[in-house]
A and B are shown apart, each in its own frame.
Chain A
Amino acid sequence: MEEEYEILESTVKDFNSKFVDNNSLKLENESMGPDFIRMLADQGFFSMMGQGSDASGSDLKALSIVLENLSKSAPAAAVKVLLVNAFSTLVNDTGILDSVGKGAKSGTVTFSDLLVPKGQNGSLKLENGRVKGEKEYVLGSDSDFILTLLDTGELILLKSGFSQGKKHKKLGFRSIGFSSINVDSSDYSVVAKDGIAALRKMYEDFTLPISAIAIGMSEGVSQKALDYAKVRTAFGHYLKDFQPLAFDLTSLIAEMNILKRYFHDLLSSPISRKEAMFLKHKSLILAKDMSKTSLQIHGGYGYLEDFGIEKFYRDSMALSVLFHREDSDMEELSSLVFEGKAGFV
């Protein structure tokens, strides 16, 4: 890893130990609160992408390092950072970017426009200069600004005139608003005429950062399992002494380390779409497998939130639904592997 990224990694680890590790349950389940949001902003985590006056230039790799390390303790905080930075890549209003970068305001993007076919996540229409309608499945619906698609395909920035509607169930990242939004607004601007293309570009660019969250979650939850297996006894042995447990966890950790090495290789070379998708595909599966095995190692205690394991079980699944398209991503990846359209029947 390049030196600047090593320094960044160390910065996030310090941040975790000071502000996240002892607070991770609240950050997941309740609210991050304005103070914590400001701390994330003060670290520069909200201005790693986009063109705000304080931005040091877009750096997906740096963002990925931050997300990986935040996810070890608080996946919800990492997802918050991801949403804000995804927002910032698409907006070019310096004033808004500055306020979001400083944590004074917040912004999000409706990833759902890419995750389900058109019409399945509501409808926003332009009527006499006003945007009207309802959009479903908005992660970050408690934000001040929302980037979303009109039915006609333009990507618009909603600045006001919207409110949270029906609250959705929250499998993961419970401190982040997740609901529909009701919109009746004249306070908007068009960000891209071909909104789908703009969203797709952002989604592709964020393949590595999303993978980073999955890898960070695997690292965080596996460390908890390793620690627990060394001290907990059953049937006269430490849990680590039992073959099924030790072998299962070791096998997953081997996979994790291979992916991590691959991840760092990708960070230090030009990003290849196919390789980034390889990483995302495998790291999302790993996060789910690792959290399942780690929960199993903790037995009944893993099922209770106090041990900080069950949140990874929920979050890893939520991540793979909220930032991943099960079928169409595999169709795209298969087409890259076969070097021609594949996997569509």
Chain B
Amino acid sequence: MDFELDSETKEAITKAREFAKKYFTEEAAERSDREERFPTEIVALSKKEKILDFSNPWKVLVTIEELVRRDPGLGISVTISAFGAEIFMFFGNDDQKEKYMNPVFAGLKTLGLGVTEPGGGSDVANIKTEAKLDGDSYILNGGKMFISNGQIADYFLVLARTSPPPSPEKKHRGMSVFVVDSKSPGFSVNKLHGKLGVRATNTAELIFNNVRVPKENMVGEEGKGFYYIMTFFNISRIYVAAQGLGIAHGALDRLVEYSKKYGEISDTGELKESIQLAIAEIATRVEATRNLTYKAASYLFKFTPNPIVTSMSKYYAAETAVFSTRRALELMSLHGLTNDLERFFRDAKILDIWEGTTEVEKLIITRMMLKEEGA
């Protein structure tokens, strides 16, 4: 067992750190947050400087962590432009990879994933969006909610029902995934305003009103969409865990910096113990999150994903991010309230919700464990 990252991955960390230091200025982060403005220029620079190297998933993972550690809103905006691309990688045909996946990985196009619906939330099997075959096309009708890159993506991978479920217990069957061009007639977008956090990211509602999609835009096999999406979530949740790790580490950075500058000293000449213990607790949680996240990643990157460890990492990272930002803010008092930590505090909470709520992750962990044990 080797806990050391290889030199190439360490270089990616350094590169991300330098990029964030140069471009994630407080002014840029604050403006994107205040105006709910996607940082188009910074994202373009990140593509130009090839900050994300999709040929090496470890580099992607540590880059997310490092960028988010500097600023969650900007960090996630920079690293989310290929969101969903693994679905092409694992289930797309050569033409789809060439036409859609490669331009996304090259930074030329932006992808979005349309799964969640207004009435669905975590209940993916209950989606209502329909795709009906009409000649050599499918006609899509329905809506998607809380979609990242909603207003800026060139294409969306959209989960839609192509046949009725065989029974109420098997609602997850009969769904398929389609590539939808954002310029398609009948497709429209409403940007969502007034988010608590990650306000730099672009989030929208998608509406499909008789959107015609060529048959060849179906990804993989008909009826296997639910399986594809769940497979993708087992990948993306690890990257969400990296976001949580970055946020928690960012909070720790700020608390440590504060304690050096303003931390109250007791009669013994040391920092008062309550802040010492809080730093230790957050640092330990950050390290535990990192070990869990990297373990989940090591399974996945060797093509032997472990959904139990993946869900553990996502759930624990989200909890750690929320805990760490709250605790740091409580201790840093007005200093924390008036610097970027308050943004970290608002940003962290989304991790408990997106890509499967914390409650759903816990249920996955137990159900999979019991299944493995033959219970």
Contact = CB atoms under 8 A, between A and B. Distances in A.
Closest 8 CB pairs of A and B: A305-B194, A310-B196, A171-B342, A168-B338, A300-B146, A234-B123, A137-B334, A345-B266
A10 B266 CA distance: 48
Contacts of A302: 353
B345 A171 contact: yes
Interface of B: 30, 116, 119-123, 126, 145-146, 192-197, 262, 264, 266-268, 272-275, 322, 326, 329-331, 333-339, 342-343, 345-346, 349-350, 352-354, 357-359, 362
Residue of B195, B266, B326, B337 with most partner-chain A CB within 10 A:
B337
A305 B330 CA distance: 23
Interface string A99-137: 000000000000010011100110000000000000011
Contact of B334 (A304, A305, A310, A321): A321
A313 B329 contact: no
28 contacts: A112-B334, A116-B335, A121-B334, A136-B334, A168-B337, A169-B30, A233-B119, A245-B359, A288-B326, A292-B322, A296-B353, A296-B359, A300-B121, A303-B196, A304-B192, A304-B194, A305-B194, A310-B195, A317-B329, A320-B330, A321-B329, A321-B330, A326-B330, A330-B274, A344-B267, A345-B267, A345-B272, A345-B273
Nearest to A345: B266
A244 interface: yes
B335 A234 contact: no
A234 B274 contact: no
B337 A318 contact: yes
A321 B341 CA distance: 13
Contacts of B335: 116, 120
Nearest to B337: A321
B264 A327 contact: yes
A314 interface: yes
B57 to A, nearest CB: 27
A41 interface: no
Interface residues of A, number: 43
A270 interface: no
Contacts of A339: none
Given A288-B326, A313-B349, A116 B194 contact: no
A233 to B, nearest CB: 8
A233 B195 CA distance: 23
A345 B268 contact: yes
Contacts of B123: 234-235
A85 B342 CA distance: 28
A106 to B, nearest CB: 21
Given A245-B359, A288-B326, A313-B196, A137 B349 contact: no
Contact of B338 (A137, A236, A304): A137
B22 to A, nearest CB: 23
A4 interface: no
Contacts of B275: 327
Contacts of B192: 304
Interface in A245-263: 245
Contacts of B120: 234
A281 B145 CA distance: 39
A325 interface: yes
Interface string A286-315: 001000100110011011111000100110
A322 interface: yes
A299 B329 contact: no
B319 to A, nearest CB: 11
A235 B337 contact: no
A300 B331 contact: no
Contacts of B193: 305
A313 B325 CA distance: 13
Contacts of B349: 292, 295, 303, 313
A322 B342 CA distance: 13
Contacts of A168: 337-338
A299 B194 contact: no
Given A117-B264, A304-B194, A345-B267, A235 B345 contact: no
Interface string A130-165: 000000110000000000000000000000000000
A60 B193 CA distance: 39
A325 B333 contact: yes
A8 to B, nearest CB: 32
A321 B326 contact: no
Nearest to B34: A169
Nearest to A171: B342
Given A317-B330, A321-B337, 19 more contacts: A115-B334, A120-B262, A137-B334, A171-B346, A244-B359, A245-B359, A296-B352, A300-B121, A304-B192, A304-B194, A305-B195, A305-B196, A306-B194, A314-B346, A317-B329, A317-B345, A322-B334, A345-B268, A345-B273
Nearest to B358: A296
B260 to A, nearest CB: 14
Given A304-B192, A330-B274, A321 B336 contact: yes
Interface string A221-247: 000000000000111100000101100
A44 B116 CA distance: 48
A296 to B, nearest CB: 6
A184 to B, nearest CB: 23
A296 B353 CA distance: 7
A318 B341 CA distance: 12
A116 B116 CA distance: 45
